[in-house]
Structure 1
Amino acid sequence: MQSSTRRRVLAASVAGTVGLAGCLSETGDDETTDDSASNTDETEAEAPSVDWESVPEFRRWLTDEPQRAESNRRFDYVDTVTSMFISPAIGFVEEFDDDITGSLVHDGHEIHLGDFDRDAVVDAAASFSGEAGGPTDGIEYERTETYEGYTLFTDGLAVGEDAILWNLRDETATAAIDTRLDRDIRLEAAEPLFTAVFDRLPDGIEVVGQYGPPAGGDVSADEILLWGGTRESLESTDMTWIFVAEDEASVTDELLAELETVAVDPELEVDGQFVRIDGSMGLG
């Protein structure tokens, strides 16, 4: 199996959409130091509760278990079907695009949510073969075992009735499945500030976020613990960001001036340690 080829294939397939959503990242996989232990006692005491039965499905898959070195737990979710979120390395998934309700790229995972005929997807995966001479040349998947209702294949591919999961690492997908089943630590359980961000963001077809400031642009403030953002549509450059500073005292004029650079004609709203920015990414 050509793992280096698979990494290039995934990067090429999602760079356009993920890079636009992140505004400041080329691939959506900005690497920062691990800030998952950033909670203060005060934050934990005021942590918002999560009704896991009613939240959007993708939030149940978000894990705080690092999947890569220096992971920032980056996530990019689209609440629709788009080929830009389907890697050619698992091109057979496009045969089932009518069954997909949303796609998530998260810290090295590609997860397609929906209502699937598991047997049909398993057959398609088992018969998939990369295009000879192309970037997927030599890619094939071998069925290995069944785990908690998911059929596992080599190279971290898993197929269930509710999701098709591909792990960018050459390992099994069991850790991600355990997160979905609430056996492994979820992102919001480890850092309730992400829940506070979700609560403050408007509804959107695309949702992004991560620990630390966005990399690759003008915002590099160490005072930013994490952030999230939404867009109403994939065609729009209008976006809402919620940045979370270390504390209210960290939200200085200098920090606000730096955060304003993420948008064209930004509108700012400050609520304690939370800074909301509405504006255009200016990439259209």
Structure 2
Amino acid sequence: MIVIGRGSVQQEECDVMGHMNVRHYVARVADALAWLMLEAGLPPSRGALSVLDQHIRFLREMAPGTPFTILGGVVGASGDRLRAFAEIRNSATGLPAATVVTDLGNADPATGALRPLPAGLALDALRVEVPDHAAPRGLTFVPPRPIPNRTEALAMGLAEAYRGAVRPDECDREGIMRSDGVIARVWDGVPNLRNRGTGLGVKEEGIGGAALEYRLLHLHPLREGQLVTVTSGLRTLAEKTTTWTHLLHDGETGAPVAAAEAVGVAFDLKARKAIAIPLAQRAALEALLVPGLGL
């Protein structure tokens, strides 16, 4: 792998749990992938590939001030897709903090339709394999099932977690919402899920939450000013973890535009470690399970 990014965690990139928020992992990797594409012969002046699908593993926390290095390479390319790998490592310890496998494509900015990859990409010297610690664990990373529209999602028992609009500062130079903005919408709605009688992740109780694994699927470009909702449902419940499915819909048409799945863990904010979900909260969560849910 080659170095494609460096930096340190800023205070404003951290959430109420005291560690770097998921959206900023995605944002930092997006910057790094642009450097990877430069090495492949596709500088920003020539164009850029769009994120189609991502699988993310969070391995260790990154607190404010943590220095990091991002290493990466190309897993493979076929037809209209290129799969890239990036690993964020704590520069002080050398240990991996997160891994991101990303499927990129040459998407039409207006429709999202895929076109052939740009000709002449130099990929051979950048080839890497996805290491075992980055492989899917609680989630799949295979072609998704058809995604229900908003009406269908609500009928299945999913609940609205977020309602808003795409802001200009979240968009790229084409006016399309960046991938970190999409995952931020999911995170923004999570507290509404916790407040549905569960109290899970309420910081005042000393128990928070942390993401272990994410899948982020982009179905159609989201543009500046577009209205968006997120409907979410609980897919599985284990001793320490919950797996949620989140569906993003166009607020005007109800059509699906993106989707995500996340494995999260109950988290002791003092000991900084995962704990079993308390019994009272487990009982409330069991009532939120949606049979057959998943991407």
TM-score, normalised on structure 1? 0.28
Structure with greater proportional strand content:
2
TM-score, normalised on structure 2? 0.27
